[in-house]
């Protein structure tokens, strides 16, 4: 519809438009003079003399109902396009797939030849400036959509038919109706029907039409391509017209399917007496249309491609082209488009992913279509078998979390579909570019990884990916990165050993800082004082103090985290708390500035230290007192036995809830009869009711659901609001 608006503005019409959402093209159209209003209300069209609508707009739309009731003409998009271009030498580009790229190539060739063509293309085309323009020359290139049958309303001078396959059966009913529609289109062509002889239906229709010109890669035809070489980003082939060799073409697009499309475009252009050299130059420099094997990101470790492929043949062609990339694995993320297409072509879809190493399938993008049979994207996964381990994602956020957790250096990620799946590719690409900028600030001793699974860094063993996992090699690199993140508004989250952390399945956006490198993992003892970096484990502190004959730190043996995390939440065990032994803390603010704070300058409460909302603990000086080694060892042994006797061995985040003023949380949960309650593999421990454990296959959603049940029961049965002790972070999916 945006292309139609551009053509109407070119023609000098007053144009207004409505849509449910304000897409990215709206601003450009408004700058050209179009009036836009968000939402569909009759008041928005009362001044219209004519209403043109997309076939996705249902007849129940309030604006359409008002227009019909008030005798305002309503026509479909293609009918409007046919009216606008009826005086031009129109060239239809038609077929089940490949139309957008072929329309772009043909428009580029005619422009290179100085023929100032008009064009209408169904995607963003940066090389042409916009996706539609009337042009000043006689030719008008039209990408023709067959989905609703309106392709027959044109009166073209020429047509390029790329392929004819089963699609849009919700409209046509059966394949014979599709073939008959294309037969009608080809018969309406006044001068030059060009058809692909590699397609069996096109080959049949070409034989029926004495004007037809054919082209092929693998069959006899008027135009043929030989010596085909397909690389990672380019293709090369030689063009023959009957018995004449015309020369070599270097195409700046990958894949045999694009070689076929380019040959068809050449057949049209050369038959219209365009010079071969003009064709050669245009095809060597043509850049793909938006979402047509579009490179969203290409770096040393990853390649991210987005494509409009939404039909089984398109998926196969896109993945075959991806196989040419210098990558170890292909991770395909597919969003089925329309319930009817998915249901009717389910078997073909299931066999279309042979070139992918892993496949992720989202829920179906309905495009305004009803779903009377209840078909789901899950059905495609079940039909596909197990070779490339297809996995179903209910939402785009879940798809992004699943694929990023799977990504390894050397992978290519290919998103495909005609809906909004491109948002996944754009987000992954943006995340990778942010990481590239941070890497420029680092020295060799630092570590930065993208999409690090947080289940590797939490004691609960659950959690989606961290966008960036950062282990600074020292304070200077941490300071530089924090300053950069503040300038770029990148969120920063500090992770210790993850012993009190529940990360949601969508993972953590931004930068996760973990002070685990050598610069933050040392300690030294001076008298009764022990100075340690934030990355030192509390258990190591307790035993280092024992060896030096220092008491006061024995309680730390029972806390599984490190010093940084313990300072952040004032961790405690055995009726003792970390800040009871703190003398001073070395901190860095989010601008990268460092200072030393005495204990009296820090407000430390129960499981909460407000300072660390916007500061990072780099280390601390702890103070104990000298004691007898035997007594220290005895207390360590006592605390250890008590911990193992009273706490479960299965993965957990420690105590889930804070104790209430009237009753310990574990006793309350036990009295409510919730011990051993479970959701999936998340279970209330039979050993200690204030521990939720992961039995092996739990995800964050299971644990959160179980937490919700416990809190609701405590509220309903006892009127008690249980407050979480475990920290919940990250995004839902």
Active-site positions read 99-100, 143
C-alpha torsion sign, points 355, 360, 362, 364: positive
Instruction: Report the alpha-carbon angle 472-477-482, nearest 5.
Output: 90
Both structure tokens of 697: 């296959």
- Give the torsion through C-alpha atoms of 554, 557, 561, 566, to 10 deg: -20
Both structure tokens of 410: 């050397």
Instruction: Report the alpha-carbon angle 454-458-461, nearest 5.
Output: 80
For residues 332 and 322, give the distance between their C-alpha atoms in angstroms, rounded to a whole number.
Answer: 10
DSSP category for residue 723? P
For residues 646 and 666, give the distance between their C-alpha atoms in angstroms, rounded to a whole number.
Answer: 11
β-strand partners of 92: 142, 159
- Spatial CA neighbour of 512 closest among 534, 488, 496: 496
For residues 675 and 239, give the distance between their C-alpha atoms in angstroms, rounded to a whole number.
Answer: 75
Judge contact between 182 and 164, C-beta under 8 A: yes
- Spatial CA neighbour of 417 closest among 315, 568, 272, 507: 315
Judge contact between 72 and 48, C-beta under 8 A: yes
3 state SS of 240: strand
- Spatial CA neighbour of 98 closest among 82, 121, 124: 121
Structural element, H or E, at residue 347:
helix 346-350
Residue whose structure tokens are 């500090």: 494
- Give the torsion through C-alpha atoms of 513, 516, 520, 522, to 10 deg: 170
Judge contact between 553 and 573, C-beta under 8 A: no
Give Cα 155 to chain centroid, integer Å: 41
For residues 317 and 199, give the distance between their C-alpha atoms in angstroms, rounded to a whole number.
Answer: 14
Other beta carbons less than 10 A from residue 716's beta carbon: 10
DSSP category for residue 359? E
Q: Which residues fall within 8 angstroms of residue 466, CB to CB, at 6 or more apart?
A: 451, 452, 454, 457, 495, 507, 508, 512
- Spatial CA neighbour of 402 closest among 373, 374, 387, 381: 381
DSSP category for residue 193? E
Residue 35, CA atoms < 13 Å, CB-side half-sphere: 8
Share of the chain residues as helix, strand and coil, in percent rounded to the nearest 5: 35, 25, 40
Both structure tokens of 510: 């931004």
Query: 514-550 burial, b if ≥16 CB within 10 A, otherwise e?
Result: bbbbebbbebebeebebbbbbbbbbbbbbbbbbebeb
Residue whose structure tokens are 């941490």: 478
Q: Kindly give the pairing relationship between strand 529-533 and strand 615-623.
A: antiparallel
3 state SS of 13: coil
Over the Cα atoms of the chain, what is R_g?
33
Q: Kindly give the pairing relationship between strand 89-94 and strand 139-143.
A: parallel
Both structure tokens of 121: 């293309």
For residues 227 and 665, give the distance between their C-alpha atoms in angstroms, rounded to a whole number.
Answer: 75
Give Cα 729 to chain centroid, integer Å: 20
Greatest C-alpha distance within the chain = 106
């Amino acid at each position: 519809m945006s292309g139609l608006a551009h053509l109407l503005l070119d023609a000098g019409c007053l144009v207004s438009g409505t849509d449910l959402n304000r897409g990215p093209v709206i601003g450009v159209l408004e700058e050209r003079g179009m009036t836009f209003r968000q939402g569909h209300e009759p008041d928005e069209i009362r001044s219209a003399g004519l209403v043109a609508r997309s076939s996705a707009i249902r007849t129940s739309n309030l604006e359409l109902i008002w227009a019909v009731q008030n005798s305002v003409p309503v026509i479909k998009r293609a009918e409007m396009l046919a009216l606008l271009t009826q005086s031009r030498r129109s060239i239809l580009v038609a077929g089940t797939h490949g139309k957008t790229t072929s329309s772009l190539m043909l428009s580029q060739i005619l422009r290179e030849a100085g023929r100032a063509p008009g064009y209408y293309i169904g995607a963003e085309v940066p090389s042409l400036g916009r996706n539609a323009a009337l042009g000043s020359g006689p030719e008008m290139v039209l990408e023709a959509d067959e989905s609703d049958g309106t392709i027959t309303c044109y009166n073209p001078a020429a047509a390029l038919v790329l392929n004819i396959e089963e699609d849009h059966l919700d409209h046509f009913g059966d394949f014979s109706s599709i073939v008959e529609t294309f037969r009608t289109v080809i018969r309406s062509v006044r001068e030059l029907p060009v058809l692909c002889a590699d397609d069996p239906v096109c080959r049949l229709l070409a034989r029926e039409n004495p004007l037809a010109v054919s082209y092929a890669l693998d069959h006899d035809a008027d135009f043929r391509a030989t010596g085909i070489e397909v690389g990672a980003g380019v293709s090369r082939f030689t063009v023959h017209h009957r018995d004449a060799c015309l020369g070599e073409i270097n195409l700046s697009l990958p894949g045999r399917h694009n070689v076929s499309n380019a040959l068809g475009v050449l057949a049209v252009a050369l038959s219209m007496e365009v010079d071969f050299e003009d064709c050669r130059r245009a095809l060597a420099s043509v850049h793909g249309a938006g979402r047509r094997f579009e490179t969203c990101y290409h770096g040393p470790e990853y390649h991210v491609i987005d494509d409009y492929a939404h039909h089984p043949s398109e998926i196969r062609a896109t993945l075959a082209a991806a196989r040419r990339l210098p990558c170890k694995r292909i991770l395909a993320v597919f969003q089925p488009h329309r319930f009817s297409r998915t249901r009717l072509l389910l078997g073909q879809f299931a066999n279309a992913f042979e070139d992918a190493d892993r496949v992720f399938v989202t829920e179906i993008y309905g495009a305004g279509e009803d779903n009377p049979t209840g078909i789901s994207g899950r059905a495609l996964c079940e039909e596909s078998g197990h070779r490339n381990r297809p996995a179903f994602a209910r939402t785009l956020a879940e798809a992004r979390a699943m694929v990023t957790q799977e990504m390894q250096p050397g992978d290519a990620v290919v998103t495909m579909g005609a809906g909004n799946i491109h948002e996944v590719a754009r987000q992954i690409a943006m995340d990778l570019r942010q990481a590239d900028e941070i890497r420029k600030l680092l020295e060799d001793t630092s570590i930065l990884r993208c999409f690090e699974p947080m289940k590797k860094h939490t004691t609960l063993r659950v959690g989606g990916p961290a966008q960036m996992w950062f282990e600074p090699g020292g304070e200077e690199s941490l300071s530089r990165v924090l300053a950069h993140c503040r300038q770029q508004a990148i969120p920063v989250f500090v992770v210790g050993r993850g012993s009190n952390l529940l990360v949601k399945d969508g993972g953590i956006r931004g930068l996760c800082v973990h002070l685990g490198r050598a610069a933050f993992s040392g300690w030294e003892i001076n008298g009764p004082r022990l100075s340690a970096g934030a990355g030192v484990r509390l258990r190591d502190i307790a035993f280092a103090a024992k060896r030096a004959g220092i008491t006061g730190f024995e309680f730390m043996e029972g806390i599984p985290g490190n010093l940084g995390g313990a300072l952040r939440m004032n961790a405690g065990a055995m009726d003792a708390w970390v800040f009871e032994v703190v003398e001073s803390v070395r901190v860095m603010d989010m601008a990268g500035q460092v200072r030393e704070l005495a204990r009296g300058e820090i407000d430390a409460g129960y499981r909460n230290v407000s300072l660390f909302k916007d500061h990072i603990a780099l280390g601390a000086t702890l103070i104990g007192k000298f004691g007898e080694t035997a007594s220290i060892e005895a207390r360590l042994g006592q605390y250890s036995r008590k911990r193992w006797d009273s706490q479960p061995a299965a993965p957990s985040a420690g105590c889930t809830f804070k104790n209430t003023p009237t009753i310990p949380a574990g006793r309350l949960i036990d009295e409510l009869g919730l011990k051993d309650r479970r959701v999936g593999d998340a279970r209330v421990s039979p050993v200690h009711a204030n521990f939720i454990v992961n039995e092996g296959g739990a995800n964050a959603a299971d644990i959160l659901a179980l937490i919700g049940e416990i809190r609701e029961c405590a509220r309903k049965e006892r009127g008690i609001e249980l407050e979480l002790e475990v920290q919940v972070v990250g995004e839902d999916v």
